[in-house]
Structure 1
């Protein structure tokens, strides 16, 4: 939480500094944006313990993001854009465990992690309507849910029994870091002065788990969406 407050303070100082610089240049503009996320959770070494008795397949999970932004010109082609977004991250997992030749369990579930995020993008206008961007993203975990199916397969002689259970559980936030930090890069194109499309990839830097004794597990997300500036 302290890191998030420091991030907000840093963003505020940039806003104040930018406002002083832009009094005589381009005006500050406000806007709203929304879009889709395709997120996954990755380990630092990319190894999820694949062996003959255990398989873990991480796939992209769909989600969404929505919020507000302010665009602050600081030079002829540069601007700073702080944003405040609600963003769904997480991963889709297919997991298989074999405890013996006669018993196998299969998990197929989605982990959804909901964050309040503060991206702080520095944008460069290649053309008046086309920009590229990069910058940090600060996030605060609001909650989450694990939802999916557990299938157990038991074999005894020539008889095979299959049992399927559906589950939906809220995550225990005590096991997760409330603060999330990442780096984003992206681009956008405005078809008019008001309406544009955006694309961004954000790579997680911090571990999502609080007491993780193994390799760090990080959020990663592709984001595409639309933006509208009020002018």
Structure 2
């Protein structure tokens, strides 16, 4: 996948240099929403978060069926991670992490318009620069009670709650910028449609190729290879 990434970057450079002089590039703005999560080795119990994106693009027709579109976008992605650690002292620690990551992203999309239609298929590399990383963490510590309730047999109608596990839940919001790498890169795949000469809509999937973190809390024993993954929909306007 890394070889594909760099091959597409080189293709973009060649395509821009080969642009036909008769075509007219268009500058546009775009906005949309995305669903993002983490994937990678040892990444388990993960879930999506919803974020927003906005940016500008430069649509450069190369032929009647092929175009190159560099973009600069602000995107909020991230994900939810859960893990559980059972200690020898018969204490269980459960962590729920909602990670929010803000990126300045620079994709270069290669768009193909079959038979010159308004519909297009796109693919392209992307680099991203992390400018914000925040974790809304919920930690639940369970101290397991192992002794027997002496009244459980004689008073069966009474609750045994006094002898249940001791559960303590804490919530914290903290900056985790130091846990995440600044630079990210990956590949985009998507579909688009030009509603008019100025308005367009599209859907896009991003697959991160670079490990951006190994851990998001101190209690996790197994290191993970955390990578970004997102699906987005959006609308654009070309001037």
Does the pair score TM above 0.5? yes
The aligned runs of 1:20-59 (5 Å cut-off) are: 21-25=19-23, 27-44=24-41, 47-48=42-43, 56-59=44-47
Give the TM-score normalised by the residue count of structure 2.
Answer: 0.78
Cα distance in 2 for partners of 1:97, 1:107 equals 9
Cα distance in 2 for partners of 1:117, 1:103 equals 42
Q: Which runs of 5+ in 1 are unaligned?
A: 1-8, 49-55
Answer with 157-166 or 129-138: which moved more.
157-166
Report the CA distance between 1:117 and its aligned residue: 0.5
Corresponding residue for residue 237 of structure 2? 228
Cα distance in 2 for partners of 1:101, 1:214 equals 22
Corresponding residue for residue 117 of structure 1? 105
Question: For the aligned residues, what is the CA RMSD?
Answer: 2.7
Asked if residue 209 in structure 1 is aligned to residue 198 in structure 2, the reply is no
Whether the 8 Å contact between 1:11 and 1:120 is mirrored in structure 2 is no
Bigger CA radius of gyration: 2
Asked if residue 193 in structure 1 is aligned to residue 197 in structure 2, the reply is yes
Query: Which structure is higher in strand share?
Result: 1
Whether the 8 Å contact between 1:22 and 1:28 is mirrored in structure 2 is no
Corresponding residue for residue 61 of structure 1? 49
Corresponding residue for residue 167 of structure 2? 162
Whether the 8 Å contact between 1:119 and 1:136 is mirrored in structure 2 is yes
Give the TM-score normalised by the residue count of structure 1.
Answer: 0.80
Cα distance in 2 for partners of 1:42, 1:77 equals 34
The aligned runs of 1:170-181 (5 Å cut-off) are: 170-173=175-178, 175-181=179-185
Q: Which runs of 5+ in 2 are unaligned?
A: 1-8, 148-162, 216-221
